[in-house]
Amino acid sequence: MTNPSSPLFNPITLPNGVVLKNRLVMAPMTTCCGFYDGSVTDNLINYYRERSGSIGTVIVECGYVDALGPAFPGAIGIHNDDCIEGLSLLAAAIKERGSKAVIQIYHGGRMVEPQLIGGQTPIGPSAIAIPRPNATVPVAMTAGEVEDMIGKFGEATRRAIAAGFDGIEIHGANTYLIQQFFSPHANQRQDKWGGSRENRTRFPLAVLEVSRQMAQKHATNEFIIGYRFSPEELEVPGITFDDSLFLLDKLAQVGLDYVHFSMAATLRSSIIDTSNKTPLIDKYMQLRSTTLAKIPVIGVGNVVNRADAEAAMAHGYDLVAAGRACVAYPDWTERIQNQNDLQLSINSDQRAKLSIPEPLWRFPLIYSMVREINTKKFHAGSYQQTVNDDFDNTFVINVELGQDFIKDLSLVNAEQLDHVSVRNFYEIKERILAANSPYVDAISGATSQCDAFKKAVTKAISTSYKVATIVEGGDADDKSCDVVVVGSGGAGLAAAIEAHDKGASVIIVEKMPITGGNTNKASAGMNAAETRFQQQAGIIDHKEWFYNETLKGGKNKNNPQLLHYFVEHAPAAIDWLDEKGIQLNNLTTTGGMSVDRTHRPSSGAAVGGFLISGLLKNINDRGIEVMLDTSVTEIEMKDGRVNAVMVCDEEGTEQRISTKAVIVATGGFGANAQMVTHYRPDLADFVTTNHKGATGSGIALLQKIGAGTVDMNEIQIHPTVEQNTAYLISESIRGGGAILISQQGKRFVNELDTRDKVSNSIIALPEHYAYILFDEQICTQNKAAETYIGKGLAVQAATLAELADKLAIDPESLINTVERYNQYVKQQHDEDFGRTTGMRHPLNQPSFYAIQIAPGIHHTMGGITINTNTEVLDTNAQIIKGVYAAGEVTGGVHGGNRIGGNAIADIIIFGIQAGDQAAAYAKKH
């Protein structure tokens, strides 16, 4: 396919003689949709097949070469021969369309999180953690293990050949293991594998050499071997650009077919010497050796249109790779050949048509493209903001806004900060710019800093809106909308989305610096009966069962009208989420439920973060304004109905928002110790699982205008809370088959009885604590377990006897207890405590884990009185016009005890109803 008008479509011959039909490459982007064992899925094969054909080369995302090597969930493996069959289908799908198929090979090293490898400690060149908060210190590899690892890279190459790939790309970038060996920060060894720069090149050179040997033995001369590198590191001491040129020259002397820059932009300049704006590719072309000049070079980053790719080639790249553009446009090559003006956006109903796997769809850099045009305009300009994190670090950030997009972010005081903070800023900056929104996922281990960075952007946007209003002749201190939503947890976000979709203009007001509230902490799932996902799984369930079990669990104190509405509308709420791209199709059970009706993500991940991430994407899509660090101080009434709300931001600036309706979704009061003990003095010494914003402020706000309350003394304690961290151990672990044991090594309760009964049984033990015990099988089926292990909450052992020894429990007692329970599992009859659910398999798969737990304050069942329209009722049970409430701020749904999985159902079901009713009310008035 020769096109004389553009070099992009001309062929290129690699050093090994292979001819690539054009200069365009599909960049390797992790999709996170491999099976738990690293094998290839049909979704993955279809994804690559659809993007193959016209593009010259497809580089498949990295495959880990060792079981301790995956650096992200859903990674694909190339670590054993069982992987070959699936990989061969993947290679064939690409090649049959006419593209070359290359696969990356890598090991994550110290970048691997323990929860991804069953709680084990990751490995690295030296026992030096990546400089991020709470990073795990890796185990330093022995010299023998280094040699073994080189062999594993060689075996991975052999498997790539056996699977039919045209080549491999050795992944020496992104701070993974190969780069760690070359890094003076990560590698401080004193043997031949570390120390001098020369010695630090040994490992990448050895990997290249063994890969070449395997190719010579098992492949033809046309097998491609490339190398990806990150040109600089922010670590101190870190890899410099001169270091990279030194390494690449050594690799070129051994023999390479290409080198591949790993950067966010093809024309990026130095991240170390930020005063020098010269693109690194220009420096590379000027300084590379004669040997290295013979090796083609690939550029990647921000390549969308033909002009982007041609500009990259004009600076010296021989090939140009595109990532997100290939995701959005499977036929990207044809489109740029026709010089189409492409935008990085995807219609929200196009995922299946574009063969984008569900996990990839949810990546911040991908789902940020799935949005409608934001009709609200910024006032273009630069806005400087000063923010602080929880550790008293101060960040001065310039936020540059265009008319309808976030143009750029810069860290003004970078020179005064440590390199970890600077690196975190650059990483979150990329996410914000890609999403065109501050509502993006935080960096693991750096939540506080990320919240500060995002806060700077939200403050800048808020300021720009005010300026835009003034420029247009309006009053910046007088905002207006149809519906104000107070609170940005699951109920508030669902209400805002629904109200917007029913035609209302919406503003969300959130007193905390981040969105999500207590929903962020939710782990189990969402209960619903008679759903299509249950039907697909062959699960027989009835709404009547759901109603009766919730009523029984609530001690018959539930409001019957609210409970009927809750049960009847739960399946529709599951479908509503699915329509919004939030699919909860994995089923488990919780205490008090008789069947699997707890819906959660297919990955088994905690439902809360998954839900908030999906809802925020929908908020971004709709351009709904979110005012963070802002409290509603008063709901203004006029002529017996809502007229406005008064708000105050963190700097004390007050503002009035004229509105027709208010939805209060501020959550409960589980973090307000004074309020809790006022209603329940017996809970004075209990830890709480609630986030610090759960103070009951919404209840007080509504009581000011006469709202009534119900069940305020009904406060739930959750039975399984790790006491040192107040970290809740999800009910889904017990639903997956875990048991509770006492310090005597005995079971003492039906683990899936209602929360109040299980909690009381733990409190009744002499020690007032117990252990939740599970095995490797439960761990592999529930990602929450991996999180607990990774956070160091679990004691791990290879045998039950070893576990008993670590817990100071009599081994014989523990072994007998587990064997007795396992027998009950086989016969599906618990003779001791009558357990009937969650008995999925015997506890017999090493490793074994135990987490010490005791009850903690978890949920406040009482709150504001509402009816089934979510209208707030006053102390005389009369409707307060224009005022609605949903979620934990309300009372009546759960009665005297909440069933696990019913909170998420509550916030979504009644959040949707509140949004619908408030929008209808605003339209009438």
| 15: in domain | yes
The answer to whether the CB of 885 falls within 8 A of the CB of 485 is: no
β-bridge mates for residue 167, sequence order: 102, 224
Domain boundary among 337, 361, 385: 361
User: Can you list the positions of beta strands (E) in 234-371?
Assistant: 258-261, 297-300, 319-322
| 567: in domain | yes
Q: Work out how many domains the chain is built from and give that number.
A: 4
Eight-class DSSP state of 246:
H
Domain boundary among 332, 361, 390: 361
- Residue of 49, 110, 324, 755 marked active site: 755
Same domain, 71 and 172: yes
Q: State the residue range of the domain holding 729.
A: 718-857
Could you give the C-alpha distances from 775 to 69, 121, 772, in angstroms and in order?
Answer: 22, 18, 10
The answer to whether the CB of 367 falls within 8 A of the CB of 617 is: yes
- Nearest-CA neighbor of 371 among 736, 707, 629, 616? 616
β-bridge mates for residue 20, sequence order: 12
User: Can you list the positions of beta strands (E) in 610-681?
Assistant: 625-627, 630-638, 641-649, 654-658, 661-664
Could you give the C-alpha distances from 276 to 269, 271, 272, 279, 413, in angstroms and in order?
Answer: 7, 9, 9, 9, 17
How many alpha carbons lie under 13 Å from residue 565 in its C-beta half-sphere? Answer: 21
d(CA 750, CA 593): 13
Could you give the C-alpha distances from 769 to 260, 681, 759, 765, in angstroms and in order?
Answer: 55, 21, 10, 7
Same domain, 319 and 468: no
- Our answer to whether residue 755 is catalytic in this structure is yes
User: Which CATH number does the domain housing residue 832 bear?
Assistant: 3.90.700.10
What is the distance, to the nearest Å, from the Cα of residue 386 to the centroid of all Cα atoms in its chain?
27
What pLDDT does 375 receive?
45
d(CA 456, CA 444): 19
Domain boundary among 857, 888, 914: 857
| 482: in domain | no
Same domain, 319 and 449: no
- Nearest-CA neighbor of 414 among 391, 431, 397? 397
Task: Kindly state the helix (H) or strand (E) to which residue 567 belongs, with its residue range.
Answer: helix 560-579
d(CA 859, CA 668): 7
| 813: in domain | yes
Same domain, 50 and 108: yes
The contacts of residue 353 (CB under 8 Å, 6+ apart) are: none
What pLDDT does 474 receive?
67
| 163: in domain | yes
Q: Which two tokens stand for residue 418?
A: 């440590």
Q: pLDDT for 782-797, tens place per residue?
A: 877 877 888 889 999 9
d(CA 705, CA 691): 26
How many H-runs (helices) and E-runs (strands) does the chain carry? 29, 37
Q: pLDDT for 608-653, tens place per residue?
A: 888 998 898 888 888 898 998 899 999 999 999 999 999 998 888 8
d(CA 612, CA 874): 31
Same domain, 883 and 852: no
What pLDDT does 560 receive?
97
How many alpha carbons lie under 13 Å from residue 248 in its C-beta half-sphere? Answer: 33
How far does the chain reach from its first CA to its final CA, in angstroms? Answer: 63
Work out the number of other CB atoms within 10 angstroms of the CB of residue 816. Answer: 14
d(CA 271, CA 240): 10
Same domain, 200 and 341: yes
Residues of the chain with pLDDT under 50: 1-4, 372-375
How many alpha carbons lie under 13 Å from residue 925 in its C-beta half-sphere? Answer: 21
Single-letter code of the amino acid located at 440: V
Predicted TM-score of the model (pTM):
0.59
Same domain, 710 and 722: no
Q: Which two tokens stand for residue 490?
A: 């699951």
Task: Kindly state the helix (H) or strand (E) to which residue 654 belongs, with its residue range.
Answer: strand 654-658
Q: How many residues does the chain have?
A: 925
Same domain, 22 and 147: yes
Same domain, 58 and 173: yes
User: Which CATH number does the domain housing residue 461 bear?
Assistant: 3.90.1010.20
d(CA 636, CA 120): 56
| 633: in domain | yes
d(CA 542, CA 540): 7
The answer to whether the CB of 332 falls within 8 A of the CB of 55 is: yes
Same domain, 229 and 307: yes
Work out the number of other CB atoms within 10 angstroms of the CB of residue 373. Answer: 9
What pLDDT does 373 receive?
36
| 1: in domain | no
Instruction: Catalogue the long-range contacts made by 275-284 (C-beta closer than 8 Å, 24 or more residues apart).
Output: 279/315, 280/231, 280/232, 280/241, 281/312, 281/315, 281/316, 281/317, 282/315, 282/316, 283/241, 284/231, 284/245, 284/316
Burial degree of 778 (CB within 10 A; 0-12, 13-18, 19+): buried
Same domain, 780 and 741: yes
The answer to whether the CB of 87 falls within 8 A of the CB of 63 is: yes
d(CA 811, CA 819): 12
User: Which CATH number does the domain housing residue 68 bear?
Assistant: 3.20.20.70
| 506: in domain | no
Q: Which two tokens stand for residue 763?
A: 């409190």
Q: What is the largest CA-CA distance in the chain?
A: 88
The answer to whether the CB of 33 falls within 8 A of the CB of 43 is: yes
Eight-class DSSP state of 41:
P
Phi, psi of 873 (to 5 degrees): -105, 145
Q: Which two tokens stand for residue 186?
A: 């990560």
CB environment 596-630: b (16+ within 10 A), e (fewer): bbbbbbebbbbbbbbbbbbbbbbbbbbbbbbbbbb
What pLDDT does 349 receive?
65
Same domain, 606 and 683: yes
β-bridge mates for residue 169, sequence order: 104, 226
The contacts of residue 509 (CB under 8 Å, 6+ apart) are: 484, 485, 486, 487, 627, 630, 631, 632, 645, 647, 657
